[in-house]
């Protein structure tokens, strides 16, 4: 019979429950969409720096939303107020939800107090992308750097976040490192509280 | 005799993105301005208090005559502030949690700019319905 077993139709998104939704998204669909995003931005800019900035801004919007959603859904409404807390939140929870696994490593920078690095052997967004020689140090991981910056900025830990390739001996593809450099006020606040 | 209640949502940049008088008492014109003034004055206290705890519900942070300001801070430092004269803490907590869920749903819209005013009339209707239910 027509109409029997029909799922409840919601008239407005505000009435729909905030469910977990499908846990999996097609990798090829995402890779295709991401490559189109990069290509579209390539036509809009004149130089590499501008392209990286646009990818970062796209990621920033994602980061701001991911922060709110995950704190509500997975963390039972607890906010992060400490530096290490928010870093391990990004390294574990955010990475798990976005990429299906926790990040490979989280390190503190040795030269500067305000630098931290999240490393990944093969960043999902870079998996199907190769950079031509004439693009120099451009890294599509700028999108993920934008996501991390969105999460940190939203939580009240402003930082400059960039993505870099780090060549590894014995491996053909370089490792990708997300470098996080926190602003002065974050360190001052941390010092006040510890 | 109804209850007075003024509810605002303030974004991370201290800009109000949503306002509503949700009490059941009859409102005087000056009262609205006074309520908004009291809530804005409480923002400084909320700022300091938010960094001392990882809870979202901050209960009563400030007082004015017999009115109390209760605040709920989200992960993105968006503050849901309620000026009220009742003492029903559990009702207020449930109200904040439900509005928080509504706010997340608005935020997830990729075309919504975080920090801009919430103009959805459906959101307004739902918030007022929640206020009638819990406050």
Measured between CB atoms, which of B56, B76, B105 is closest to A13? Answer: B105
CATH number of the domain to which B38 belongs: 3.30.450.70
pLDDT at B135 over 60: yes
Domain range enclosing B29: 5-134
Q: Note whether residue A15 is domain-resident.
A: no
Integer Cα distance of A152 and A170 in angstroms = 34
With an 8 Å Cβ cutoff, are A193 and B126 in contact?
A: no
The sign of the CA dihedral B114, B75, B33, B28 is positive
Q: CATH number of the domain at A101, please.
A: 3.30.1380.20
Number of domains chain A is built from: 1
* Whether B75 and A155 lie within 8 Å, measured CB to CB: yes
Residue A18, in any domain of the structure: no
- Do the domain assignments include residue A84? yes
Interface contact flag, A67 B97, Cβ < 8 Å: no
- Considering the domain boundaries, does residue A184 fall inside one? yes
**A14, B102 Cβ separation under 8 angstroms:** yes
| Interface contact flag, B120 A14, Cβ < 8 Å | yes
Q: Cβ contact (<8 Å) for A64 and B76?
A: yes
Q: What does DSSP say about strands B5-10 and B79-84: parallel, antiparallel, or unpaired?
A: antiparallel
pLDDT score recorded for residue B103? 93
Q: What residues does A117 pair with on adjacent strands?
A: A107, A179
Q: What is the mean pLDDT of residues B6-25?
A: 88
State how far residue B106 is from chain A, nearest Cα, in angstroms: 7
**Strand, helix or coil for residue B22:** coil
Kindly state whether A18 is in contact with chain B, defined as any CB-CB distance less than 8 angstroms.
yes
Model confidence at A8: pLDDT above 90: no
Distance, CA of B106 to CA of B108 (rounded, Å): 6
CB contact under 8 A, A79 and B55: yes
Domain membership flag for residue A180: yes
Q: How confident is the model at residue A9 (pLDDT cuts 50, 70, 90)?
A: low
* SS3 annotation, A57-90: HHHHHHHHHHHHHHHHHCCCCECCCCHHHHHHHH
Domain count, chain B: 1
Give the phi and the psi of residue A94 in degrees, each rounded to 5: -65, -45
A-B CB pairs within 8 A amount to 77
Strand order in the sheet with B16-21: B16-21, B5-10, B79-84, B67-73, B57-64
Residue A125 lies inside a defined structural domain of this protein:
yes
Q: SS3 of A178, please?
A: strand
CA distance A142 to chain B (A): 19
- What residues make up the domain containing A50? 27-193
Separation of alpha carbons B71 and B104, rounded Å: 17
ipTM of the complex: 0.88
Are B39 and B69 in contact by the 8 Å Cβ rule? The answer is: yes
Q: Taking all residues of chain B, what is their mean pLDDT, rounded to a whole number?
A: 87
pTM for the structure as a whole: 0.89
| Rg (chain B; Cα; Å) | 14
CB of B3 closer than 8 Å to CB of B21: no
pLDDT tens across A19-39, in order? 777 778 899 999 999 999 999
For A67, which of B73, B75, B106 is closest by C-beta distance? B75
CA distances from B21 to B4, B13, B60, B83 (A): 8, 22, 18, 9
B75 CA: distance to closest CA in chain A (Å): 5
For the stretch A80-135, pLDDT in tens is 888 999 999 999 999 998 888 899 889 998 888 889 999 988 888 888 888 888 88
Q: How many alpha carbons fall within 13 Å on the CB side of residue A66?
A: 24
Show Cβ contacts of residue A54 under 8 Å, excluding neighbours closer than 6 positions: A41, A44, A45
A126, part of any domain: yes
Name which of A57, A79, A189 to mutate to probe chain B: the one with the most chain B Cβ atoms within 10 A of its Cβ.
Answer: A79
pLDDT at A3 over 70: no
User: What tokens does A14 get?
Assistant: 């505000």
Highest-confidence range of A29-33, A77-81, B49-53, by mean pLDDT? Answer: A29-33
- Identify all chain A residues contacting B54, using CB atoms and an 8 Å cutoff: 78-81, 85
In a domain, A44, yes or no: yes
């Amino acid at each position: 019979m027509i109409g029997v077993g029909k799922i409840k139709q919601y008239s407005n998104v505000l009435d729909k429950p905030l469910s977990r939704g499908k846990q999996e998204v097609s990798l090829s669909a995402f890779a295709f969409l991401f490559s189109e995003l990069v290509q579209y931005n390539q036509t809009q800019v004149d130089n590499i720096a501008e392209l990286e900035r646009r990818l970062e801004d796209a990621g920033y919007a994602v980061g701001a939303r991911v922060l709110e959603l995950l704190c509500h859904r997975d963390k039972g409404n607890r906010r992060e107020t400490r530096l290490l807390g928010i870093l391990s939140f990004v390294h574990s929870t955010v990475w798990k939800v976005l990429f299906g696994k926790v990040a490979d490593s989280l390190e503190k920078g040795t030269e500067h107090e305000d630098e931290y690095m999240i490393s990944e052997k093969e960043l999902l967004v870079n998996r199907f992308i190769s950079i031509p020689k004439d693009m120099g140090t451009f890294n599509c991981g700028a999108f993920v750097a934008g996501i991390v910056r969105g999460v940190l900025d939203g939580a009240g830990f402003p930082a400059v976040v960039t993505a870099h390739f780090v060549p590894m001996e014995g491996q053909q593809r370089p490792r990708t490192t997300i470098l996080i450099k926190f602003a002065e006020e974050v360190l001052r606040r941390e010092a006040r509280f510890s | 005799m109804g209850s007075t209640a003024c509810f605002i949502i303030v974004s991370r940049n201290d800009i109000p993105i949503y306002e509503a008088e949700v009490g059941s008492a009859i409102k005087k014109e000056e009262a609205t301005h006074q309520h908004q003034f009291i809530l804005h004055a409480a923002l400084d206290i909320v700022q300091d208090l938010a960094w001392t705890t990882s809870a979202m519900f901050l209960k009563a942070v400030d007082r004015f005559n017999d009115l109390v300001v209760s605040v709920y801070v989200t992960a993105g430092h968006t503050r849901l502030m309620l000026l009220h004269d009742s003492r029903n803490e559990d009702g207020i907590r449930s109200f904040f949690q439900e509005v928080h869920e509504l706010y997340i749903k608005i935020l997830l819209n990729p075309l919504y700019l975080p920090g801009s005013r919430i103009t959805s009339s459906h959101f307004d209707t739902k918030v007022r319905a929640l206020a009638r239910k819990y406050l």
